[in-house]
Structure 1
Amino acid sequence: MEPSFNPAAVGKESKINVTAAYAMALTGFENNPRTMYAGGDLPFFFLKSYHGVGVQFMSDDIGLFSHKKFALQYAFRHKLFGGMLGAGIHLGLLSENFDGSKVDTDMPDDPAFPSSEVTGTGLDLGAGLYYTHRNWYAGLSVMHINGPEIELGERQNFKIDAAYYLTGGYNIKLRNPFLTIHPSLLARTDGNAYRVDVSGRVKYTNDKKVMYAGLSYSPANSVTVMIGGDFHGVSLGYSYEIYTSAISIGNGGHELFMSYRTDVNLGKKGRNKHKSVRIL
């Protein structure tokens, strides 16, 4: 789900890609974080250049706050040094909601807390770079680049800081032609806090069937177990996050995702209509 944090990743493959995911953190706690994501992207060839477009929707509930985002993404892709470099932009609309009617305080008339449900909207901008080269990739992006500030009611403002993302990965081929190892890294910060995830997956591929299992480690945060597979264009995956703090192993985080991919022909229109060129 790289387009969720890097718009330059849309259209990175010569496939139409549709993805849906649901995540629930801190299971068993009241008002625990819950996130739903749905998105799609596709590549196309226009004016002698490669491009990618995408659309996404995200709903994130944390406590009494509800965050929703609808966004469009575009990436220009260009062959460079034997690989493909993408430069992308993200244009989104944010909706923030706070349910003040559920605030439990000893001072019900405190003006710092709204006494009813309040909602505000704002513009969300992002940009990124994404480079792929044979068996490796790297990406750099900035989301909420405009630092949107959303008014909630008449007295409260909700400020969202810019978030910076760095990602990379490599595909390691083994002697066994059916097995590959996929280490990867994802780092992100908003200038106040940061998180780094180092992951590794072992993938088994046989014809159009793929199965994988892996682990991810985030220092001072958690260890995540992953499992999934691809079957004729349909991908299913599940992960369970175990926090390394005092939180019980049974109160971890669940994530379930599903995607569907199908080939798209990126043929160049010219004199020879039978010749096509695909993204490398």
Structure 2
Amino acid sequence: MKALKFSEIKPLLIFSLLVWLSFGAKGQQDAQFTQYMNNGLFYNPAFAGKEAGYNFSALHRSQWLNYTGTNGPAPITQLLTASARLDDYNIGFGLTFVNDNIGPTNSQEVNLSTAYHKTLGRGVLSIGASGGIFSSTLKYDEWVVVNPDPRIPSAGRETRMNFNFGLGAIYDRGKYYVGFGSRHINEPGFDFGDGAIDNQLMNHSYLLAGYRIRTFALWTFEPSFLIKSVSFNNFSYDISVIATHNQRISGGLAYRGEESVSLLFGYGILRDNSLRLGYAFDLVFGGLEAKSPTSHEFMLTYNLQPVSREFQKAIQRTPRFRF
């Protein structure tokens, strides 16, 4: 195996130090995913059209399975993404839909993303922006309140909607990539119960980086990490290592700071590996007094490569012309 130069690994070393300096987050409002390395578009709009072809993914996460608390069941999340790229213009487009249920609350968001991809040095710099609608619903009949407020109904549900914006950038060098994305930049607010509950969606930022290592016998390894921040006041992190054989079968380990360890599996179903199944199992060890010990995540991805057709000009002969 070829030795790596320090200049090639220096960017990841710097960012890795940030991982160990970070600490557990409180007040995380965004959904969390163990297979974050395969869902870049959720964290960063610059991933829109980053890969060639048409890319689709569907994910279902059951967090803290079978947990039932005072304020309802455990979180359940669905994520749908789609992206495409216009190669002639180096522009990509993406669509993201999230449905997140946590106890008596339900949030849904739809975001459209666009990104521009520019060759820079030996890598590609991608810059993207996103905009959409965020919907927040509060189910009063499932909410247990210690000190009731007469302005807050005891039954029914209430929904508030607002605009939502994000920005991001990625630099992909081939062997490694580093990206930074920021969601809910405008920090939209949602007032429930005649203003009795002021629920503001805080700005969430993500630093995602990974390194691709190709070895003998068709094996590749990709260590990566994700640093999450809420308004740059609280931080948490995920670290993972994925091994893949012949671009078909993959497995790995992941660690979420002070919360869980995870096993990840992936398998390419079709001959060209365009359709893939992914699964992640989380074993929770932190905060078990308010959680169940396991979480499960299922993912299906499909990559449709563009069809290129080459037409050969036929030779036509006439009595006067030949071309």
Alignment TM-score, normalising by the size of structure 1:
0.88
Q: Is the 8 A contact 2:259 2:285 kept in 1?
A: yes
> Does 2:185 correspond to 1:185?
no
Aligned residue in 2 for 1:36: 78
Q: Does 1:45 align with 2:84?
A: no
Whether 1:196 and 2:237 are equivalent positions in the alignment is: yes
Superposed CA RMSD in Å reads: 2.2
Contact 2:152 2:193 in 1 (8 A): no
Which has a greater percent of strand? 1
5+ unaligned residues in a row in structure 2: which ranges?
1-38, 313-323
Equivalent-residue separation in structure 2 for 1:112 and 1:24 (angstroms): 33
Structure 1 pair 113–194 and aligned structure 2 pair: CA distance change class (3 A): farther
Amino acid in structure 1 at the alignment position of 2:115: A
CA deviation profile, 1:79-100 (whole Å, cap 9, x unmatched): 1011111100010101100011
Establish whether residue 230 from structure 1 lines up as the match of residue 268 from structure 2: yes
1 or 2, which has the higher helix percentage? Answer: 2
Is the Cα contact below 8 Å between 2:285 and 2:293 reproduced in 1?
no
CA distance in 2, matches of 1:223, 1:131: 28
Aligned to 2:160: 120
- SS of 2:221's equivalent in the other structure is strand
Is 2:103–2:142's contact at 8 Å kept on the other side of the alignment? Answer: no
1:23 aligns with 2:64: no
Unaligned runs of 5+ in 1: 275-280
Q: Distance in 2 between the 1:256 and 1:230 partners? A: 14
Structure 2 match to 1:86? 126
Deviation readout 1:108-152 (Å, 9 max, x if unpaired):
5x2364323111000000000011112211100110011111222
Correspondence 1:2 to 2:40: yes
Residue 130 (structure 1) aligned to one of 163, 170, 173: 170
Q: Residue in 2 aligned with 1:277? A: none
After TM superposition, the structure 1 = structure 2 runs for residues 99-118 of structure 1, keeping only pairs within 5 Å, are 99-105=139-145, 110-111=149-150, 113-115=152-154, 116-118=156-158
Q: Residue 113 and residue 252 in structure 1: after superposition, are their counterparts in 2 closer, same or farther (change >3 A)?
A: farther
Give the Cα separation in 1 of the matches to 2:146 and 2:131. 41
How many equivalent pairs are there? Answer: 263
The percentage of aligned residue pairs carrying the same residue is 24
